[in-house]
């Protein structure tokens, strides 16, 4: 492990009203930070109402057939509920979150020069229940082992806006991370629990971090509180997303969305740097080939 200075005891915080350059400076230095007031209380309340009936139908624990991968049971959490396909289930998410200027200003600054284009990896509600163990620390970029071998020389291929739908505290399972662990030389080193600090947040705040940061869900030591958040992740569009939106989203819902939101959900072509176009048909826009309708002009 390479650490150039003592591990900070907390993640730094900044207002969502601060200049994007200041947010990105802290992000690059620490690998993660809390952005306060990223979403409004009204938006959080609406998303919670839209999510509630769907989350109530979800059973706790992993839904994968584990076989020899029993580790996934512990990783997903035995008393944790996970709800995916959020663009279909939440109108507020697909109309407001996926078109939010600040979110795209940050994504543009992170991805445009190095990767050219970006899309959504996942928008998954994660609700950690009482008496849940802490999740194993990990780096999200471990999903791409070839790139992970580059360590800190890797491009910024994946970022997360972990959104608090309830308050996050050290007691109820706030996401933990090791500040500056994205700077370590060995990316196979996921760090120690003793060095991880909680990203304490109010509902509406966002824990903005790189996929290269060592992090994990926290232990919920409460008796009756369910810590709820959205794992909202974007990545370079030359990488395969975690969720397969073109196969799980009804077309009529997609056609109610803006072209920008559609593109985030892989219903439009992507243009990575020097790639000439991906996710296309005859080197033309795939949305035109399938005669996809949209709600309003594409935002630039």
Residues 133-192 have pLDDT tens digits of: 999 999 999 999 999 899 999 999 999 999 999 999 999 999 999 999 999 999 999 999
pLDDT in tens, 184-197: 999 999 999 999 99
As beta bridge partners, residue 208 has 33, 161
Per-residue model confidence (pLDDT) at position 166? 98
- Sheet harboring 215-216: ordered strands across? 197-198, 176-177, 215-216
pLDDT at 64 > cutoff 80: no
The Cα 198–Cα 221 span in angstroms is: 13
- Under the banding of pLDDT at 50, 70 and 90, the label for residue 63 is low
Please tell me what DSSP assigns to residue 167. -
Name the H helices within 85-185: 86-89, 91-95, 101-115, 145-148
Structure tokens at 222: 């409460």
Q: 81-117 b/e with 16+ CB inside 10 Å = b?
A: bbbbbbbbbbebbbbbbbbeebbbebbeebbeeebbb
- Under the banding of pLDDT at 50, 70 and 90, the label for residue 6 is low
- Under the banding of pLDDT at 50, 70 and 90, the label for residue 5 is low
State the angle between helix axes of 101-115 and 20-30 in degrees (0 to 180), rounded to the nearest 10: 60
Per-residue model confidence (pLDDT) at position 68? 57
pLDDT at 73 > cutoff 70: no
The Cα 223–Cα 150 span in angstroms is: 43
In percent, the amount of the chain with pLDDT more than 90 equals 85
**Around Cβ 244, how many Cβ atoms within 10 Å?**
12
Domain boundaries, the chain: 13-289
Residue owning tokens 């080939």 = 289
CATH of the structural domain 13-289, one choice from 3.40.50.150, 2.60.120.620, 3.40.190.10, 1.20.58.100: 2.60.120.620
- Residue range 87-101: average pLDDT? 98
pLDDT at 297 > cutoff 60: no
Max Cα separation, the chain?
57
pLDDT in tens, 255-294: 999 999 999 999 999 998 776 789 999 989 999 999 999 9
- Residue range 55-73: average pLDDT? 72
Q: What is the 3-state secondary structure (H, E, C) of 40-60?
A: CHHHHHHHHHHHHHHHCCCCC
């Amino acid at each position: 492990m390479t650490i150039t200075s003592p591990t900070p005891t907390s993640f730094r915080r900044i207002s969502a009203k601060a200049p994007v350059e200041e947010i990105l400076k802290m992000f690059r230095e620490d690998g993660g930070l809390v952005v306060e007031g990223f979403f409004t209380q009204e938006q959080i309340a609406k998303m919670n109402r839209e999510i509630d009936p769907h989350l109530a139908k979800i059973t706790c624990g992993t839904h994968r057939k584990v076989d020899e991968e029993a580790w996934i049971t512990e990783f997903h959490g035995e008393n944790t509920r996970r709800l995916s396909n959020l663009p279909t289930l939440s109108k507020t998410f697909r109309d407001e979150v996926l078109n939010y200027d600040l979110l795209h200003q940050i994504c543009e600054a992170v991805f445009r020069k190095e990767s050219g284009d970006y899309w959504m990896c996942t928008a998954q509600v994660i609700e950690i229940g009482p008496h849940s163990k802490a999740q194993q620390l990990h780096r999200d970029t471990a999903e791409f082992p070839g790139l992970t071998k580059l360590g800190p020389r890797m491009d910024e291929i994946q970022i997360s806006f972990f959104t608090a739908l309830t308050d996050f505290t050290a007691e109820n399972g706030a996401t933990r991370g090791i500040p500056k662990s994205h700077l370590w030389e060995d990316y196979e080193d996921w760090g120690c629990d003793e060095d991880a600090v909680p990203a304490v947040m109010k509902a509406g705040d966002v824990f903005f971090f790189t996929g290269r940061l060592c992090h994990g869900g926290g232990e919920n030591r409460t008796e009756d509180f369910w810590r709820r958040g959205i794992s909202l992740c974007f990545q370079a569009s030359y990488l395969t997303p975690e969720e397969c939106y073109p196969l799980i989203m009804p077309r009529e819902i997609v056609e109610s969305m803006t072209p920008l939101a559609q593109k985030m959900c892989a219903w439009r072509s992507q243009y990575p740097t020097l790639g000439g176009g991906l996710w296309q048909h005859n080197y033309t826009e795939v949305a035109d080939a399938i005669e996809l309708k949209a709600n309003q002009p594409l935002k630039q």
